[in-house]
A and B are shown apart, each in its own frame.
Chain A
Amino acid sequence: MGVPAFFRWISNKYPKIISPVVEDNSDFDNPNPNGELDNLYLDMNGIVHPCSHPENKPPPENEAQMMLDIFKYTDRLIKMARPRKVLMIAIDGVAPRAKMNQQRSRRFRSARDARIKKEQIEKEMDYKRSSEILKGKIIDDSVKSDHVHWDSNAITPGTPFMDILASSLRYWVAYKLSHDDDWANLQVILSDSSVPGEGEHKIMNFIRSQRLDPQYNPNTTHSIYGLDADLIFLGLATHEPHFRILREDVFAKFSQGSNNRNLSLQEQMFMSEEEKKEIKRKESEKPFLWLNTHILREYLKVELMTGIQIPQLHRNLDFERCLDDWIFLCFFIGNDFLPSIPSISVRDNSIDMLVQLWKQNLPYLFNNKKKFNNDYYLTRDGEINLPAVEVLLKSLAAMEDGILRKKHSQEVAQAEFEKRKKVMRDQNKNSVYKGYKLNEDKQFVNQATEANQNMALYSVSDNKIINNVSAKGAKDLIKDQSIVKSKQTLTLEESNKKSQSAAAALRERLATNSKKRKLEETETEATTEDASEEPESKQAAITQGKDSYDPSETTGDDEKIAYEVPNSQTGKTYDNYDLIRVWEPGYSNRYYKIKFNLVDDEQVLPFKKQLLYHYLEGISWVLLYYYQGCPSWNWYYPYHYAPFASDFGCLDFQKDVKIKFDEGTPFRPFEQLMSVLPADSSHNLPEVFHDLMKNADSEIIEYYPEHFDIDMNGSKMPWHGVPLLPFINEKKLLHHVSSKYDLLTEAESFRNQNRSELILISKKNKWYKTWAKELFEEGKDKISFGAKKTNISGIVAKSPEYDFVGSTEFPLYENCEDNPFPDTINNQLFIKVGYDFYSNVDGKRNKSMILNGYIDPIQVLTQDDKNAILYGGQGYAVRQKKGFTHQQNTHINFAITVGPPKGKINIYHNRPGGYLGLLRSNEQRQIHERQLNSGVDLYSQMQQHNFQNPVPGPGYNGGPVHGGPVHGGPVHGGPGYGGPGYGGPGYNNFNQGRGGFNGRGRGNGFNNRGRGGYNNRGGYNPRGRGNLTGGPHRQGYLPPNNQRHF
């Protein structure tokens, strides 16, 4: 998912979810200024990437320096978050196959970018050298070019770099545990790249496993560090509401006037030492922020659960399930495992649209739940409810034409606007040459239009068309002079016609294509190097295989058949999206034919069905991955493109779709490396594999194309392009890779193993003695325990990597001149053991439910906030705003909203009808009466405080004396709020503005309460309380002097 886009969207729409991180350097043991935190999870890849190849500062000198930078950054994170119980450090291990396709694209692309950058650097160096030489200076370019070229593809499990990282982190954690008192009670779980699974998902596995332990504290506060927008969903999907995401404030401005732009290569290369230091200093001051999912939950409760008209449905609506459905809807906007449906994007407020559709369909699903597996949600604990999803997708399909047309007309209008703007600007700038300019502009307009209409045909290079057409076809096409010529003289109308004729020509070529296939295959010998130089002579190379998709072939086959990616790779970027003309009827057919090289219309339907099936399989896979852990290590989506929503109509979900996953086993590290790395990055693999990637005779050389096309697929953002890489045949690859295993050295074989998590504790930890005694004196193999005392549960077992009487050495001697760390650490200062938390799971399913004993935090949203969500406002019409910054929310004391309110033990909100509720309201009344009798002018003061809520709601019938909708109400009442926490600073303030309004009196009592957490603690309910307090004396009143603002 587009990270900045989603983050921007969500923090704009739900502004109070963001709060600044308070970083003070007071003692670690002091109360946490951000609210107490039990568990901190670090998705280390979010740290390793910026520390090893930073975007806007010069890269570190060497790998040792990178490690030191990583330590420093991590240390800062831990100091600001102050976890008290558990620290989990997770680095991406071998990923599921479904993710590898994306990793592969990224790595091939980054190799490509690196190549381009290298060329650029050489150019710069040449230039600089010549100019410096002119000035009589000599520069040492060996160092510079060396570190500028650091291959970020090394950040993949199994590489030597990851090995160094793993041992460095182990050393560093051991060092911190044995030398830093702040860590005395911290239990550090280390899941490095030798443990299969993506970092954040390993963290989720841990959290899920802990939830299954009955001893687990349901009020544990969690925080995860990472930049990925996925973390928001993952955090919500745990159904652990005390959950915050810690991230860098990417929108923060650098202090003191400097801007936040990324530095150009030139600037990075030739920066002075002072400049470097300055940048480093600024980097280290970069602010962080919290994304509070407990507040996001408040927002979503309002968003998803309000306005459901059927009382029966309303009170049966389970927020946790609604939340899961919302997350599911968000998957359609984008995820790492599937391409997204063309008509949906975060920028177009598609989430709002999907939520609306969901809400509209809900009553239907509810009333017909027999048809939908006796359920009315789209998902259930990570399983999709296929018939219900079918209803949603089909109602989306009905809207799709409109969406696409609207999108197109907006784009056209936008393009026109940009053009006009540019013309105006140019005119203003060059008013002197007005006449001349105008002429040129006209030409420009024509050209621009042309480019817009026919981008696919011309964007690549002047004399060729890249369209997944085999080179043979392309060659023929280019011979079509009318098209080649058209480029020079097209007008708008003509260009339209031409593009149609081009498409027609294309179809024709494609039709002949398959007939010629046999012939071509014999001709397919030309190498890719040739191709880049002479596109025309390039061979066709649609990889050997089937012409079209036969549905019967995929099911049952153990090796998935990916659709063929043409090997006619020129290494160019093109866009044929406009050829599809999604704004005109018949786009779906055109889409499949153009994107998947289908020839006749008859081919489209069976192909489409197959693709749809895989797509549904895909969304099921993703959902399970998020909720239960990886359902299959080998499954992947075998296409580069998604279907249209309208296509789902051709599939009968009940009949055609049976989804089942085979868990399989993760790849081994070298197998993953061979699957995702380009030949340029082969230095990350043992020597024995290099040939497989580089030698033209290698039987799997087709997996490592040096050049490949990128299909922009209608997007302007370079990183949105789709690299058209051939899919890997798992069996074939594994066969060739494992044939080399005998040749590996011992160390290499070790690196090729998947292992399990480690846990480290300090000698000062209260369990040190017990563990040391049981494991290392009594010689027990393992200890299993629940979370009550240790705050974690699972099994610990002796690890071969740790010798209790040995020592741990500093792993970074090379290149580390002034080592700030001791050379060795006595192993008895800490304990390092293997840790298995999966033992908790043991076949149990994770359920999307709130755990018993969970206590809600203080609510943050005011009625105004809720209204903004319900009735709209300008606030969240998200467009790419320059200089976007999120709302600062500095007036809220977020620290007290973290975790259960202090001293609260009651798991229930205060509701009318109970004994404690009555006592509380009596108390309120007495305070009130005292105030009245002492002559305080309540009425006028109340009026002042009521500005937020001037309109009494329908249910309000408060007495005349106290006027207006009463504040906050008994809100802070309730037994649970008893104790020290209750009435804490500003507590009441949070609820201010909800008094009396809220439509509480509406409907019967159930409906009222059915609204979820946001009004149930109010306890102001005319039905339950009226008799007691006798009319005017509403309980909700807190004397004005108790109103604290913060």
Chain B
Amino acid sequence: MEVKTFPITSRTNSTALKQPKELTSYNRTKDGSYLMEPQSSPSYYYFPDAYLNKGFNLSTGYKSFEKFPDTAPMDGFLQAIKLWEQQHQKKIDGNIISFRGIMTMLVTLPHAIDKPFDLNVMYFDGQIFLKLDQQSETAKRAQETQDRMGGAGRVSEEMLDKFTYSGYKFETLVTLDKPWADCSRKDIEGRDAKVVSNAEQYLSVVRTGIDKTKLILGGEVDCVFDYKPTVGDKYSGKDGILGHYVELKTSKTIEHVGQAINFEKKLYRTWAQCFLMGVPKIFYGFRDDNFYLRSIEQFKTEDVPLLLRDSNLPRHANNPKNRKISCMDSLKWFGAVLDWLGQVVPKSDDVAVQTNTVYRLSFDKVQMKFYQLPTEESTRIIQEEPVLTSEFIEWRKQLKAGK
């Protein structure tokens, strides 16, 4: 097994960025099925300033949380791509196809060198498909939970669950299923009593790019701020669909500098997330230790790099964890690592080889590694957590044959 490595100190010189553009969108429903365009619909942000005085608690309803396993299967995403390709009668134009979350991990790696990960990679039909390895991800999360529950400053499992819950609760609290004008007062005022579920998602499929690499990304979008423009309607604005999206986040209240420095790291990850998808607005809900929502702050994605660069919070200079965050530097790394990946993936012409070979891209706290997985492991992955669906493979074959 030949392992190729890539040091995390690598950087490109240029960071030519492409403006992200939405290609299509889809919903994942409560029962795990998908709604493709034009049935797909986002949520809408509505939470006026005065509502912050009402003292909402983000743990309310925790007991009735409808929790679905937090995996990211490729099927809906690939289905949406297929649909787009059917409509446009051409292959989607991108070198790498992946969920946005994976790209976020890559972008923010320079400031998360203590966090290893494992990705499964397939090369198919001229494109690279990436997916998180669920097995190692699950193990990693279990370990994290263990760590937090033990040792100093430990928290109970219930607390951990509440932390998770409060994020979804916040989303439920501040968004509406329909535009405000179409909602009844009851819809709006009854949100605190609504059952929170993490199953329903709205996802956008976006084309973007850095340097020479073109990316097709799928990612969840929390809500729309005002409205979603209709493609081709000259009256609803040229700023595109992505310009109306909002990313929602929660954080513990910030009361001292240490927390602020931690928050900056969080904000940095959020920035990467939004930057990749071209989401321009970030709303952070701050909850206190008792989960009361205390404040909401609004950030412009494009302002975050400046905010982080100009942050003059007092830091301990000798603690590398606390060093100032440079978003620009992260992008240079990101460009470099994608470029390397493009080169390092073997490009076989044989479709049978393509669809049966799984590679591993991983980070081990020191460097990036790339290698081909043994057949046994490949088979497990293809069967249990496939990177490509057979439907998609079939479709691409058809598309090729059609041409």
- Which residue numbers of A lie inside 8 Å of B, CB to CB? 211-215, 315-316, 318-320, 380-381, 770, 785-786, 788-790, 844-845, 847, 849-854, 856, 905-919, 922, 975-976, 1005-1006, 1009-1013, 1016, 1024-1025, 1027-1028
Contact = CB atoms under 8 A, between A and B. Distances in A.
Interface in B61-91: none
A1012 B297 contact: no
A1009 B49 contact: no
Contacts of A789: 234-237
Interface string B230-274: 000111110000000000000101111100100110010000000
A319 B49 CA distance: 11
A1028 B313 CA distance: 12
Contacts of A852: 44-48, 180, 225-226
B92 to A, nearest CB: 29
A844 B181 contact: yes
B297 to A, nearest CB: 4
Given A214-B180, A788-B235, A849-B188, A908 B53 contact: no
29 contacts: A213-B181, A214-B181, A215-B227, A316-B54, A786-B227, A844-B182, A849-B48, A849-B188, A851-B48, A851-B180, A852-B225, A852-B226, A854-B48, A905-B298, A911-B52, A912-B253, A912-B294, A912-B295, A914-B253, A915-B254, A915-B284, A917-B254, A918-B260, A1006-B53, A1009-B52, A1011-B53, A1016-B49, A1024-B294, A1028-B256
A19 to B, nearest CB: 25
Nearest to A850: B48
Pairs of residues from A and B, 5 with the lowest C-beta to C-beta distance, nearest first: A785-B235, A913-B253, A214-B227, A911-B295, A913-B294
Contacts of B227: 214-215, 786, 788
Contacts of B288: 913
B260 A907 contact: no
B50 interface: yes
A1027 B256 contact: yes
Q: Which of A845, A849, A975: most chain B CB closer than 10 A? A: A849
Given A315-B53, A1028-B255, A770 B234 contact: yes
B388 to A, nearest CB: 38
B179 interface: yes
Classify the interface of chain B: helix, strand, loop or mixed.
mixed
Nearest to B181: A212
A380 B185 contact: yes
Interface in B200-250: 225-227, 229, 233-237
B286 A908 contact: no
Contacts of B286: 913-915
Q: Which of B55, B181, B298: most chain A CB closer than 10 A? A: B181
Q: Which of A845, A908, A976, A1024: most chain B CB closer than 10 A? A: A908
Contacts of B292: 1006
B184 interface: yes
Q: Which of B184, B233, B251, B254: most chain A CB closer than 10 A? A: B254
A1028 B255 CA distance: 6
B103 to A, nearest CB: 24
Interface of B: 44-50, 52-55, 179-182, 184-185, 188, 225-227, 229, 233-237, 251, 253-257, 260, 263-264, 267, 284, 286, 288, 292, 294-300, 311, 313
Given A214-B179, A788-B236, A917 B295 contact: yes
A128 B355 CA distance: 111
Contact of B50 (A850, A916, A919, A1025): A850
Contacts of A905: 298, 300
A304 B313 CA distance: 42
A320 B235 CA distance: 31
A381 B260 contact: no
A199 B253 CA distance: 50
A1006 B300 contact: no
Contacts of B180: 214, 847, 849, 851-852
B295 A908 contact: yes
Q: Which of A211, A319, A1006: most chain B CB closer than 10 A? A: A1006
A315 B260 contact: no
B42 to A, nearest CB: 12
A786 B255 contact: no
A414 B52 CA distance: 51
Contacts of B296: 908, 914
Contacts of A1027: 255-256
Contact of B298 (A212, A851, A908): A908
A315 B55 contact: yes
Contacts of A1009: 52-53
Given A214-B226, A770-B234, A1027-B255, A915 B49 contact: no
Given A214-B181, A318-B50, A851-B180, A919 B260 contact: yes
Contacts of A320: 50
Contacts of A214: 44, 179-181, 226-227
A1012 B53 CA distance: 7
B295 A1010 contact: no
B254 to A, nearest CB: 5
A908 B49 contact: yes
Nearest to B267: A915
Contacts of A1010: 53-55
A788 B244 CA distance: 12
Nearest to B266: A915
A870 B260 CA distance: 39
B298 A906 contact: yes
Nearest to B300: A905
A853 B52 CA distance: 15
A1006 B55 contact: yes
Contact of B297 (A915, A922, A1016): A915
A907 B235 contact: no
A20 B349 CA distance: 79
A854 B48 CA distance: 8
A395 to B, nearest CB: 26
Contacts of B298: 905-908, 975-976
Q: Which of B237, B298, B311: most chain A CB closer than 10 A? A: B298
Given A913-B294, A1024-B255, A847 B185 contact: yes
A1010 B56 CA distance: 12
Nearest to A917: B295
Contacts of B299: 916, 975
Contacts of B257: 918, 1028
Nearest to A856: B49
A98 to B, nearest CB: 26
Nearest to B179: A214
Contacts of A1013: 49-50
A211 B180 CA distance: 10
A215 B54 CA distance: 28
Contacts of B295: 908, 910-914, 917
Contacts of A856: 49
Given A849-B188, A853-B226, A1016-B53, A917 B297 contact: yes
A907 B267 contact: no
Contacts of B251: 915
B284 A914 contact: yes
A907 B49 CA distance: 7
Q: Which of A316, A318, A319: most chain B CB closer than 10 A? A: A318
B307 to A, nearest CB: 8
Nearest to A978: B303
A320 to B, nearest CB: 8
B305 to A, nearest CB: 15
Nearest to A211: B181
B225 A853 contact: yes
B296 to A, nearest CB: 5
Nearest to A212: B181
Given A215-B226, A853-B226, A914-B286, A909 B54 contact: no
A1009 B296 CA distance: 13
A1016 B54 CA distance: 12
A551 to B, nearest CB: 34
Given A844-B182, A908-B298, A913-B294, 6 more contacts: A381-B185, A788-B237, A853-B225, A911-B52, A919-B260, A919-B313
